Structure 1
């Protein structure tokens, strides 16, 4: 593969193209300044304005959310996995239909494998613009987002209506629902009763891992298996995630039988591949083609850590409890 061909599989942090109208809460005060990014795959955006950087199927989606301080993402649910790691800033994640069932604060490098079938939201509680990177299960990311009823009602009060076709219609721009399209129905009481409300101990103890703890585990010379059947978060969401550090970087060329993704969180990383090389910085995302020999090692002295994501044959469905 030539360097020119590979550059088309690298999305640089500075080249990310945001969408500010991706979801139903785009006009709701407190959520109207967020930016959504779809890096790999179709994502779950409800807006035709969403730019997709790499459309190739990987078995999972890669996205990101950027938000200024005090901006929040409204409470929603997914049918498949949603995993976040913090790239920049400090973030509060909260869950429950009204966001009052529990919360956890994540710092840079921390990772959160949010269980399926719970309402979740997140807020930038830092002092500067923050960025979190996301991995969503499945090529179609589970068919979209399920919103808490009050989110849909709040959005309607500010001019945005979600149709049952999964698309947004903005009355502020003179848009109305097309013939044959009805508003997305609110979840019924029976449907709401089927949504899980785990305790803070269950969520934080089972699905959150701290960056420094993972770095310590990766100092043994092998990557820290973060998410997987044998991971420190035991789950099979249709992909696996490892954390590599300087001590656990693989210096021998290797390949995978399916595409993989490299996402630095600390330091610069040099990726040598058959045909060329590239240097990645935090916030960059690189899709490595299947069956391509490559290595990834820190390019400079100092702290270095990188998340590696690869698909598996497991179904991208409800959280696995093995």
Structure 2
């Protein structure tokens, strides 16, 4: 590999994303059985060996996506590290709490949600067409899997899916059985469940949600700092997120010491580096390694916006307060 080739970014196109329809324990549960999970950068948290991973090397965080038709939902679960979503397509309702009734928020296209770590959360497509949300997960190993609310595990068993204590799924309707020495994933006890916070909508939305059109206004002169030190949203989840619009795109090439991922929301963005150039479209994901000089700018007139994610040295979890 030449020096020029090693400096080239790695790009995953939206139209080339490979879905997995059996990624999680609720893959057979009515109402959740039409989900598509995408693992773009890093191994993510999929429980299925069928999950395709586009880029296995991680830049300090994971990138994934969820695609769902209308009225399809993702069941209540929690993560050990951060989970940040922005809506690429559609209209989505996010809800949280032990039973999903502690609070909720509806997000439109371009809105971003830094979900507080350590709470049960779920989401559903409440739009009229197939929707897509892009996800950023903290840490290189995405925290070691998913913690499901007890009712999700119980419902899944009734429809043939059993999650082993090793984190792998077994489809009993296809004749799969748990290997010797591997038991089913135990459900959380009442004492363990009480340790999960139940924040209200007023606790969460003002501090963890940023609206697209607010970010467009804030990025008029310079990139809007969405997540990170002294940023708009609370918690430092192990990566920084900035929002760029046409008027705040950096002038010329720049180099940073962190790995950088570019995720266009609207418009077409030209990226250049020594020896090459390309155009990114909404839904594409572009990874530039640390130390590679590059530029990014809108390539056509009209609305243009982009989320930029950079690794940092923060732990892959929340600070809960500034």
The TM-score with structure 1 as length reference comes to 0.97
Could you tell me which residue of structure 1 aligns to residue 239 of structure 2? 239
In the alignment, structure 1 residue 222 sits paired with structure 2 residue 215: no
Q: How far, CA to CA, are the matches of 2:127 and 2:4 in structure 1?
A: 41
Could you give the per-residue CA deviations for residues 1-60 of structure 1, whole angstroms, max 9, x where no partner exists? 6579736x1000000000000000000000000000000001000000001000112110
Residue 319 of structure 1: how far off its partner (Å): 4.3
Residue 236 of structure 1: how far off its partner (Å): 1.1
In the alignment, structure 1 residue 15 sits paired with structure 2 residue 1: no
In the alignment, structure 1 residue 279 sits paired with structure 2 residue 286: no
Residue 140 of structure 1: how far off its partner (Å): 0.5
Could you tell me which residue of structure 1 aligns to residue 265 of structure 2? 265
Residue 235 of structure 1: how far off its partner (Å): 2.0
| Poorly superposed stretches of 4+, deviation over 4 Å | 1-5
Aligned residues of 1:237 and 1:320 also touching (Cα < 8 A):
no
Could you give the per-residue CA deviations for residues 152-193 of structure 1, whole angstroms, max 9, x where no partner exists? 000000000000000000001100000010000000000000
Could you tell me which residue of structure 2 aligns to residue 178 of structure 1? 179
1:206 is paired with a residue whose SS is helix
Q: How far, CA to CA, are the matches of 2:230 and 2:318 in structure 1?
A: 18
1:271 is paired with a residue whose SS is strand
Note the residue ranges of structure 2 that are not aligned, 5 or more in a row: none
Bigger shift: 124-133 or 288-297? Answer: 288-297
Q: How far, CA to CA, are the matches of 1:188 and 1:103 in structure 2?
A: 25
Q: How far, CA to CA, are the matches of 1:321 and 1:5 in structure 2?
A: 38
Could you tell me which residue of structure 2 aligns to residue 6 of structure 1? 8
2:8 is paired with a residue whose SS is helix
Aligned residues of 1:260 and 1:290 also touching (Cα < 8 A):
yes
Residue 253 of structure 1: how far off its partner (Å): 1.0
Q: How far, CA to CA, are the matches of 2:182 and 2:7 in structure 1?
A: 42
Q: How far, CA to CA, are the matches of 1:34 and 1:69 in structure 2?
A: 10
Q: How far, CA to CA, are the matches of 1:65 and 1:5 in structure 2?
A: 30
**What are the within-5 Å matches in structure 2 for residues 24-173 of structure 1?**
24-173=25-174
2:193 is paired with a residue whose SS is helix
Aligned residues of 1:116 and 1:319 also touching (Cα < 8 A):
no
Could you give the per-residue CA deviations for residues 121-180 of structure 1, whole angstroms, max 9, x where no partner exists? 000000000000000000000111000000000000000000000000000110000001
Note the residue ranges of structure 1 that are not aligned, 5 or more in a row: none
2:248 is paired with a residue whose SS is coil
The TM-score with structure 2 as length reference comes to 0.97
Aligned residues of 2:7 and 2:289 also touching (Cα < 8 A):
no
Q: How far, CA to CA, are the matches of 2:188 and 2:126 in structure 1?
A: 30
Q: How far, CA to CA, are the matches of 1:129 and 1:42 in structure 2?
A: 24
1:212 is paired with a residue whose SS is helix
Aligned residues of 1:81 and 1:319 also touching (Cα < 8 A):
no
Number of positions where the alignment pairs a residue of Structure 1 with one of Structure 2:
320
Q: How far, CA to CA, are the matches of 1:160 and 1:101 in structure 2?
A: 28
Residue 257 of structure 1: how far off its partner (Å): 1.3
**What are the within-5 Å matches in structure 2 for residues 296-311 of structure 1?**
296-311=296-311
Q: How far, CA to CA, are the matches of 1:15 and 1:273 in structure 2?
A: 23
2:152 is paired with a residue whose SS is helix
Provide the aligned C-alpha RMSD in A: 1.2
